[in-house]
A and B are shown apart, each in its own frame.
Chain A
Amino acid sequence: MDISSLKAWEMREKLLKKEISAVEILESHLNRIDSVEKDINAFITIDRDNALKASKGVDEKLARGESLGVLAGLPIGLKDNIMTKDLRTTCASKMLENFIPPFDATVVRNIRREDGIILGKTNLDEFAMGGSTETSYFGNTRNPRNLDVVPGGSSGGSAAGVAANELAISLGSDTGGSVRQPASYCGIVGIKPTYGMVSRYGVMPMSNSLDQVGQFGRDVKDAFLMLKGVSGFDPLDGTSSKKSGINFDLEGGSLKGLRIALPVEYRDLKVTGDEKIREMFDNTLKVFEREGAIIDYVSLPHLKYALETYYIISTAEVSTNLSRLDGIRYGYRTENYETLDDLYTMSRTEAFGEEAKRRIMMGTYALSAGYQDEHYKKALKVRTLIKNDYDKTFKDYDVILSLTSPILPFPFDSIINSPVDMYKADLYTVPVNLAGLCAMSMPMGEIDGLPVGMQLTGNRFQESKIIRAGYAFEKVVK
């Protein structure tokens, strides 16, 4: 039996029944890494020794008859923008190439508390900016379903690692789709929880009013397990909610009577080459209908401004969040400087990649005196309108169903040189972050051997609705 090919929840069950040990679980994943990682490049750093120590610790706990946490013995990957004490955390940037944090993110502490095994730090677009993991300073990650296409991004390493059975489950971060889109591209499940559901403490911010730590699993139950293990109120994060935490189980969800909203704005929106994807989506709708779901078209009139709103707010926040990387206290420092201004300018010029620089400049512009009223402040107002549209919709519906991405995973170097196209692909995912909602991407089929995902969106702190519906759907199509 190849343990690494099991679902995470199956591994955990077998571990608790003592059919397999935590060390065996780890070793099967390490073997898998040894055989496929050279092709995939899901990791920036693999922490074999500490993972082994932790796995042994879990086995000892089990032998002593102690109760184990929800993540017991599961090899977990962390997107490399999540701070790990004494373990290098690079954000896939030259800027933090050698940065070793002196503290753990709250999610890391939660994983340890729940007996999870931190196996390594996964690849991402530099500072989580991108949709293909191609902006990483540490090379491309390849899609396990087809090595010639991207795994999506920015949490491409975490998605590819799980899809390739190098990891049981993993964490990413989702600012505008960075968990859901790679989940879709790699054919797995990705959850973007409600803003405030999972602590952001110790996660390098990209756009702090949009960021949320997301979960990957090979099925809904696995992703749910990961979410259960890390969610909960955190006094260290002022935006963490007292309502956070998972207090429901998967069973009991049914598609019968599920009220599903389809935004007309998505129906009317055409992206080149999306015909087959649309066809598949229509077939999926038929499954929901057959199972008794009630499906209506609704209008969310402000959705059409979501992309512009997103790119103004997110880049504005990027520009301030990345200011701390100035070459003074930690991180990369240029050798070419005489004045203080040179030190700042050259360190940042030499260490940030193109995409990071592009977004810092866009955000700086959006916040500049004379421009901030017509850009940043206006975007904040539109954001409220978008939120209101969703609030209205969720009065009558349980979930909003849509594509996760309007395009298939694309070949390397095909989109990266056209940033606007790349940004456009985020159309289905970014409004969710603007409104602070929860959403989940899960597979609905394949086209030309490439996975296609759909997105279930729920109201704030209504994770139970989307996850249970997804779980029920998964059972139906199995």
Chain B
Amino acid sequence: MGYKTLVGLEIHVELMTKNKIFCNCKNEFGGEVNTHVCPVCLGLPGALPVMDKEALEFGIRAGLAFNSEIEKEVRTDRKNYFYPDLTKGYQISQADLPLCKGGHLDIELEDGVKRINLERIHIEEDTGKQLHTEDGTSLLDFNRCGVPLIEIVTKPDINSAEEARLFLEKLRSTLKYIGISDVRMEEGSLRCDVNINVVDDEKKIKSKITEVKNLNSFRSAVKAIETEEKRHMELLDKGENTDNETRRWDENLNETVIMRRKFGASDYRFANEGDLPSIKIEDSWLEEIRNNLPELPHEKKVRFISEYSLGQYEAEVLTGSKELAAFFEETYKYVNDSKLLSNWIMGDVLRRLKEEDMEIEALHIQPKDLADLILLVKDGKINNNTGKKVLKDMFDSGDSPEKIVKEQGLIQISDEGALEEIVEKILDANPQSIEDFKNGKDRAIGFLMGQIMKETKGKANPQMVNKMLLAKINLR
């Protein structure tokens, strides 16, 4: 089968500035309906927009993080259309001259790094929200009107649902890194539309591009791409084709359904936004923003590899989010053993987080506590299995490892005299096992070890016991 899938994404990201983009209303999610409003965001006659500098700065941060070219003189345009949640009859956006041109984001595939190129990033204002009641009336909440947005448009460089997922995750993590959005899809602060078609270069056929909206999680974006590419291929196989149309992902039906057909390009009658004079981006300001930009994911990854001697994979995982990377670095200060630490975090910690569907931010365990636990194991105060059990308790209770170890009496018995006593006792009770071992049944050692652990409630130092057992059996 020779089909290639082409996916381009349009991602709207709400910026978490203090104020809305054109007025002094608070930019906050939630709140009583129609309380975060003023004449400007309500679009009352004569009210005028004034550009919020922070919103502009956040947009530039995004451009710098994605290696875009930043426009020297920022202009805005009016995008004209009628919709009840649009208070002015036009949305202030950017047409020909976006804030950021081009750019790219690299994703890690199994067979290497793939570059996804960006078309543009522009700034604009969000619209209000319509609430539909059961009796068919519609209510309007304008709190969201004028919340600053950036729209990130990729080139159709994404070739599968999996690549889309990786891209979105990397994008989200980067946006979080640079602190411009809380990127919560469920609250709508990150919204994604998919443009998709499939081509068969050999047969020189391709499907018409469809757009899928209403994707409120990465999972639905992935599923929408999967079902949509299948639909495109099946239609082409039947000698038919898709239509240029906008579709909507239906979570319940688990499929895309048609919203509206597209008749040519929409005519938004773009016009200059004369109320907002063009703003010059001074080089000095751009430099300041660049210098204040936090370390980006790929930079951090490179540093992790060199500074902590980690492998590509470990570094990739540990820098997957700013918070996880910070947790690693903070814990490292006490442990000083990056291999050991990365094993603990990548193994038990992340596995448990995944099981609980939690982010690292929600973790109760303090870096110092994890470090203490690792050192308890490393120094032989408790054995590895006990360590894992303690970690589990730490995860649930948030208690320090010392407290758990002490309360449950888990300190490993490494006292030679004490161990000798126990070993002798077990050997006395199990002559058959000694016999078996001498007859070449190595498994007998395992049984004896188990008995000793049972006797000591798992606290015996396994290396010492092992050594001691062999020595004592040979003496008998």
Contacts and interface: CB of A to CB of B under 8 A. Distances in A.
Interface of A: 81-83, 89, 91, 96, 99, 101-103, 105, 200-205, 208-209, 235-239, 316-317, 319-320, 322-326, 328-330, 340, 344, 364, 367-369, 372, 376, 380
Contact of A103 (B44, B80, B272): B44
A369 B90 contact: no
A239 B277 contact: yes
A83 B140 CA distance: 24
B121 to A, nearest CB: 22
Interface residues of B, number: 30
B46 interface: yes
A105 B51 contact: no
Contacts of B87: 324, 329
A324 B44 CA distance: 8
Given A320-B271, A328-B84, A367-B80, A103 B45 contact: no
Interface stretch (B177-185, B262-270, B332-340): B262-270
B398 interface: no
A149 B48 CA distance: 36
Contacts of A316: 271
B46 A201 contact: yes
A103 B40 CA distance: 11
Contact of A323 (B44, B46, B88, B275): B88
Main secondary structure of the interface of B (DSSP, over half): loop
A14 B88 CA distance: 46
Given A320-B89, A367-B269, A204 B277 contact: no
A380 B274 CA distance: 12
B258 interface: no
A282 to B, nearest CB: 38
A209 B276 CA distance: 10
B81 to A, nearest CB: 9
B78 A320 contact: yes
Nearest to B39: A103
B47 A202 contact: yes
Given A238-B275, A320-B90, A102 B45 contact: no
B457 to A, nearest CB: 72
A91 B90 contact: no
B42 interface: yes
B39 A372 contact: no
B269 A329 contact: no
B45 A238 contact: no
Interface string B26-54: 00000000000001001111111111000
Given A320-B80, A320-B269, 11 more contacts: A81-B45, A81-B46, A200-B48, A204-B45, A208-B274, A320-B271, A324-B45, A325-B89, A329-B42, A367-B269, A372-B270
Contact of A238 (B39, B90, B276): B276
Contacts of A236: 48, 50
Interface string B283-319: 0000000000000000000000000000000000000
A205 B45 CA distance: 7
Given A208-B275, A329-B42, A369 B47 contact: no
B82 interface: yes
16 contacts: A89-B45, A235-B50, A236-B48, A239-B48, A239-B275, A319-B80, A320-B78, A320-B80, A320-B89, A322-B89, A323-B82, A323-B90, A328-B140, A329-B43, A344-B82, A367-B80
A330 B37 CA distance: 15
Contact of A239 (B46, B269, B274): B274
Nearest to B23: A236
B267 A368 contact: yes
Interface string B328-347: 00000000000000000000
Nearest to B46: A202
Contacts of A235: 50
B270 to A, nearest CB: 7
B89 A105 contact: no
B90 A83 contact: no
Given A102-B44, A103-B44, A326-B82, A364 B269 contact: yes
A182 B274 CA distance: 26
A137 to B, nearest CB: 15
Contacts of A329: 42-43, 87, 140
B46 A96 contact: no
A369 B277 CA distance: 24
Given A323-B89, A329-B87, A367-B80, A205 B46 contact: yes
A83 B48 contact: no
B44 A372 contact: no
A209 B275 CA distance: 7
Contacts of A340: 84
A319 B88 CA distance: 12
Contacts of B274: 208-209, 239, 317
Top 4 closest pairs, chain A to chain B, by CB: A323-B89, A209-B274, A367-B269, A204-B45
A239 B272 CA distance: 14
B46 A369 contact: no
User: Which of B43, B84, B140, B274 neighbours the largest number of chain A CB atoms within 10 Å of its CB?
Assistant: B274
Contact of B272 (A99, A204, A209): A209
User: Which of A201, A202, A323 neighbours the largest number of chain B CB atoms within 10 Å of its CB?
Assistant: A323
A329 B42 CA distance: 9
A200 B48 CA distance: 8
Contact of B45 (A91, A326, A364): A91
B53 to A, nearest CB: 12
A319 to B, nearest CB: 8
B193 to A, nearest CB: 21
Nearest to A95: B45
Contacts of B267: 368-369
A404 to B, nearest CB: 25
Given A239-B277, A329-B87, A369-B265, A83 B46 contact: yes
A324 B81 CA distance: 10
Contact of A368 (B45, B48, B84, B269): B269
A380 B75 CA distance: 15
Contacts of A376: 271
Contacts of A204: 45-46
B80 A238 contact: no
A240 to B, nearest CB: 9
Nearest to B276: A238
Contacts of A344: 82
Given A323-B88, A368-B267, A103 B47 contact: yes
A238 B50 CA distance: 5
Contact of B49 (A203, A209, A238): A238
A460 to B, nearest CB: 14
Contacts of A367: 80, 269-271
A443 to B, nearest CB: 31
A323 B84 contact: no
A83 B275 contact: no
Contacts of A83: 44-46
Contacts of A200: 46, 48
A238 B271 contact: no
A209 B42 CA distance: 21
A449 to B, nearest CB: 38
Interface in B120-173: 140
A17 B46 CA distance: 38
A89 B80 CA distance: 25
Nearest to B42: A329
